Amino acid sequence: MMQYLGIIEQRTNELLQQFHNSSKDANEGTGDVVAVIGQGPAAPAGSTVINIDPPVIGDEDDSEDESDEDEERPLSRDELKAKTLRGLTKREGQQMSKQAKRKGRKDNKVK
């Protein structure tokens, strides 16, 4: 991606330079100096390493307790409520266990 942006910037600078040269020929007597926008990238393309950490999805996609019937037909309002509550309680339980583990680690560090 950065390489493509560098190529675009280089071509833009070339076009600006050509425009400046053509306008300078038309305005010989003025002597105006036009700065070219950007003189290229500060670092060569590919010299910097970019790390992108994808978000963690977790076990939300793994619904082992649910059957395939849910995907074949629309759910009623009560079924949607029940499914949502199951998901919320499961998520809250996971968060509580994570907090308990963190608290246990803090207690071990304090001792």
Distance CA 92, CA 23 (A): 68
Nearest-CA neighbor of 21 among 10, 11, 32?
32
Half-sphere exposure of 99 (CA within 13 A, CB side): 6
Most confident of the ranges 28-42, 79-93, 95-109: 79-93
pTM above 0.75, yes or no: no
77 vs 102, residue with greater confidence: 77
Instruction: With a cut of 60, say whether residue 70 has pLDDT above it.
Output: no
Q: Give the dihedral of Cα atoms 40, 43, 47, 51; nearest 10 deg.
A: -100
- Summarised one tens digit per residue, pLDDT across range 20-65 is 888 777 666 555 555 556 666 666 767 778 788 888 876 555 555 5
